[in-house]
Amino acid sequence: MLQFKSSSYAGLSIEQTGIRYVSLKKKKQWEMEQKRFLPLPSGIIVENQIEDEEALGQLLRDWISREGLKGKAVALSIPPSRILIRTMSIPLSSLKQANQLVQLEVETGMHLPFEDPVYDYLVTGTDELEAHLLVFAAPSQLVKSYVNVLEAAGMRVSSVEISTTSLARAVMLEQELAFTQTMLLQINGRVLDIYMYRAGYPVFMRTITLALPENLYYSEEQEEELTSDSISDILAEVSRMLNFYQYSLHDGSVRIEEIIVTGSARERSMLEAGLVESLADLRILTIDFYSVSGAFEQDAELNDYRMAAGTALSREGKQVINLLPRPERKTQRTSYVLIGAAVVWILLMALSLYGWFSYKSEIAAQEQQIQQLTDANASVQLELNQLNGSGGSGGTSAQAIMNAVIQYKMDVVNVLGQIRSALPAGGAMRNIAFDRSSNIQLTVNVRTLADASAYLVKLRSMPFAASVDINNASRDASAGANSTSVVPVQVYSAIYTIHLQGTAATDSSGSGAASDLQNTTNNAAGKEDANGTAN
C-alpha cells in the first residue's frame, strides 16, 4: 500500500489533452501553490496510451527544464486504460497476510488478459468470517511507460494511481459526497470516462472516445463543443452502463442513484441538460470546483487541475491505490509460487489422510451394524416360524426352518471386505443397501469413469456375485462442492446392483419357510434402506 516519506503535496495528471502539475499547501483550506500545464499535440496519447514516446519525452524535458520542475517528487495519476478491477475474499484470520494472498491470487489464480501485472488492493469491508477486497491490476509495461518517460525527463514518481480515484478524492473532499451508488462522468476534450462507485469504492470503469473535430493542440482556454450526436451517443452509453450495473453486476438488487458530471463548464452544462431530460428519476449533479468553497480555497483554475489536485492529496487517504511497479515483486514471484505449491500439497495430503481414517472407521462401524442386523433378523425369523408351526396344520418343521436360515445366511463381513478392497485408488463407498433375498445396491465415488468401469469388472469376478450391473455413472457435483481442498475436485458417482449367487434356489420341503424368511428379510432390509443405509 501507499507510503510517503516526503512532505511535498505535489500531484501530476497525464491526460490525453495535456499534462498538469500542481503543488498544494494548507492554511485553513487547500490552495494551489504552484500549477503548470503542458498541452499535448494530437497523436501523442491516443485512447489513453502513449503512442509517440520519443516526442512526449522531448516535450517533457523542455517543459520540466523551463518550469523548474526537475527533481520534483510527484504522485502520478494515469488514465484508466486496460486497468481491471476484481473482487476477492480472504479469511478474516488471514488479513495480516493479505499482501501475500493477493499476490498469490493475482499471479497464479486470477486470469488476467495480460502478462506481468502490477497490482494493489483495498479492503472494502469485513464480516464474521471473511475480509472483502478490491484488487486493481494493470499491465506493468503500460504503467512503466508513463513512469519511465517522466523520470527520464527529470522528475521523480513516488506513487501511481488511476484517474478515477484521484478525481473521486477531489470531489469527495470538496462536496463531502459518500459515493454510495454513484456514476462519475469525467469529460475532457474528446474523451469521456465513466466510473461507477458503490459504498465509496470504484467497481467499474469505461473510456469512450467522442467523434469531435481534432485540433493540433488543446489549450487551457479552449473548450470542445459537444454536438447533438455526441450527446445522444453519451446518453445511450450511460443508459447501457446503468443497466449493466443494475442487472449484470448486482442482479437487479441495487441501482445507481446519482450521476456526477465533471469537466469544462460548457461540456458540463450540455451534458447535464441531456441527462436531466432522459434520466429524470436520478439525481444529477455537476461539480465545477470554484463556485463553492469546501476543502479547497476558491480558485478559477482549480477545475482544470482537479485530477492533479486529487492525486496530490493521496497521502490524506486511509487506503490509497499505488500501482508503481515494485522491483522486489518480480524477484519474489518464484518463491511465492513454490511456497503456494507446497501449501497446496500439504493441504491435499492432510485431506487424504483425514479421508482415509474417516472411511476406515466408517466401514468398521458399517460391518458391525450389518452383522448385528443380519443375526437379529435370522433369530427373529426362526422364532416367528416356530410360532407359526406350532399353531396347527400347514406348519413347517424346525429342521426345514434351520435349512432355510442356513441357505440364506451369508458371511456379510467377508462380502463387505471384498467389495471395499476392490475399490480403485481414491474411491470411496458412499451407500450400501443389502436385500438378503435378492441383491446388493452399492453406491461409490470414483475419480474417473475409467475407475468405475474397472471396478465393475472386479465386482463381476467376486465369488458371491451371480451378475453385476452398473445402473448409473455421473459426475457428483455435491462431492466437489463439499470438498475442503483449495483446488477443484472432480468426483463421479457410480451405482451398482450385485445379484447374489443362489438367491433363487430353494428345495420343495423348505419352500414355505424360505418364502416367509424372504418376506421378513425384505421387510427388515426395506426398513434399513428407509431409515439409514450404511454410509
Length of the chain in residues, anyone?
535
Residue 533 has pLDDT above 70, yes or no: no
Residue 14 has pLDDT above 60, yes or no: yes
User: Does an H or E element contain 241, and which?
Assistant: helix 228-243
Using CA atoms, how far apart are residues 514 and 436, in angstroms rounded to an integer? 12
Q: Is 412 helix (H, G, I), strand (E, B) or coil?
A: helix
Which residue in the block uniquely carries the three cell numbers 489533452? 17
SS percent in the chain: helix, strand, coil, step 5:
45, 25, 30
Q: Is the dihedral of CA 452, 453, 458, 462 positive or negative?
A: positive
Using CA atoms, how far apart are residues 278 and 478, in angstroms rounded to an integer? 48
Q: Any idea which of 44-48, 103-107, 425-429, 449-453 has the lowest mean pLDDT?
A: 44-48
Using CA atoms, how far apart are residues 19 and 72, in angstroms rounded to an integer? 15
Using CA atoms, how far apart are residues 39 and 370, in angstroms rounded to an integer? 86
CATH number of 1-174+290-328: 3.30.420.380
Q: Is 166:77 a contact under the CB 8 Å cutoff?
A: yes
Q: Is 121 helix (H, G, I), strand (E, B) or coil?
A: strand
Q: Any idea which of 24-28, 280-284, 288-292, 317-321 has the lowest mean pLDDT?
A: 288-292
Using CA atoms, how far apart are residues 60 and 494, in angstroms rounded to an integer? 70
* Mode of pairing for the β-strands spanning 18-26 and 10-14: antiparallel
The identity of residue 192, as a single letter, is: L
Structure confidence by residue, pLDDT tens digits, 131-174:
999 999 999 999 999 999 999 999 999 999 999 999 998 888 87
Q: Is 256 helix (H, G, I), strand (E, B) or coil?
A: coil
Using CA atoms, how far apart are residues 102 and 91, in angstroms rounded to an integer? 12
Q: What is the 3-state secondary structure (H, E, C) of 149-160?
A: HHHHHCCEEEEE
Instruction: Please provide residue 195's backbone torsions phi and psi, each rounded to the nearest 5 degrees.
Output: -120, 135
Q: Is 162 helix (H, G, I), strand (E, B) or coil?
A: strand
Domain ranges of the chain: 1-174+290-328, 176-213+225-286, 410-476
Which residue in the block uniquely carries the three cell numbers 423348505? 510
pTM reported for the whole predicted model? 0.58
Helices 327-389, 398-408: axis angle to 10 degrees equals 170
Q: Any idea which of 197-206, 277-286, 343-352, 418-427 has the lowest mean pLDDT?
A: 343-352
Cβ neighbour number for residue 439 with a 10 Å cutoff: 20
Q: Is 95 helix (H, G, I), strand (E, B) or coil?
A: helix
The pLDDT of residue 292:
52
Q: Any idea which of 160-169, 313-322, 491-500 has the lowest mean pLDDT?
A: 313-322
Hey, what CATH class is 176-213+225-286 in?
alpha beta
Structure confidence by residue, pLDDT tens digits, 234-268:
999 999 999 999 999 889 899 999 999 998 888 88
Q: Which regions of 130-269 does DSSP assign to beta strands (E)? A: 130-139, 156-162, 181-188, 191-198, 201-209, 258-262
Q: Is 138:82 a contact under the CB 8 Å cutoff?
A: yes
Cβ neighbour number for residue 236 with a 10 Å cutoff: 11
Structure confidence by residue, pLDDT tens digits, 504-527:
433 333 333 333 333 333 443 333
Assess whether the region 1-174+290-328 and the region 176-213+225-286 belong to the same CATH fold: yes
